[in-house]
Amino acid sequence: MGKVRAVCISEKRGTQKKNIESAVFVENWGIEGDAHAGNWHRQISLLSEETIAAFKARGAEVTDGAFGENLVVSGYDFTKFPVGTRYTCKDVVLELTQIGKECHHGCEIFQKMGECIMPTNGVFAKVLHGGKISVGDEFHVQYRAAVITLSDTASKGEREDASGAAVEEIVRKEGYEVVFKKNHPG
């Protein structure tokens, strides 16, 4: 589990984002009031608090929102998750759409430090379900798993395969979403 450490927006493009502590996330749009929101694949940008802290330890003087990030979250390295990963925070559901982005070498951070962490550590997401996120909220990864059960007699239609119920109970207890897909030869 992660924790939301900052919720940032900029009211105009070309200005640094500022931590506003709490915001409304709008489905298929982004954060209400953020100049970068829109109907596209980069509605929300996320950075790990740990990545920012490591950059600060190398001498960078940055505040929340300096990299253009909307959410700063502790507890996760977002670059370790594949595109398509879903995150939940209260009612909000986000889907990872892009890892990294081209850095504009003219940005203030690049000019001071000779590098920027957004090209390698910044990630982007779409808002699949809206709601409100505030600093201090719990932030979760929606893990997905596949379980395949095989039975010769069930595949031949000689008996019903009921092995899924026990697996379903275990998987649900661990917090995974359970979706059944049956494929029958034939």
Domain positions in the chain are 2-141, 143-184
DSSP state of 78: G
CA angle 98, 85, 166 (to 5 degrees): 170
Predicted pLDDT of residue 67: 83
Number of H helices, E strands in the chain: 5, 11
Instruction: Give residue-wise pLDDT tens across range 38-66.
Output: 999 999 999 999 999 988 888 878 888 88
Instruction: Give residue-wise pLDDT tens across range 160-171.
Output: 766 667 777 776
Q: Name all contacts of 175-180 with Cβ < 8 Å and 24+ positions apart.
A: 175/140, 175/143, 176/143, 176/144, 176/145, 177/142, 177/144
The CATH code for residues 2-141 is 2.40.33.20
DSSP state of 117: S
Instruction: Give residue-wise pLDDT tens across range 98-155.
Output: 998 876 656 666 666 666 777 788 899 999 999 999 999 999 998 766 666 666 777 7
Strand duo 22-26 + 30-31: pairing: antiparallel
Across 24-33, 57-66, 89-98, 166-175, least confident range: 166-175
Supply the mean pLDDT for the chain: 85
Q: Which residue has the higher pLDDT, 152 or 1?
A: 1
- Percentage of residues of the chain with pLDDT beyond 90: 53
Using CB atoms within 10 A of its CB, is residue 7 exposed (0-12), middle (13-18) or buried (19+)? buried
Q: Kind and range of the H or E element at 48?
A: strand 44-48
Confidence class for position 186, pLDDT limits 50, 70, 90:
very low
**Token pair recorded at residue 80:** 């370790």
Backbone angles phi, psi at 168, to 5 degrees: -55, -45
Q: Which residue has the higher pLDDT, 28 or 57?
A: 28
Predicted pLDDT of residue 25: 98
Distance CA 30, CA 41 (A): 10
**Token pair recorded at residue 26:** 């709008």
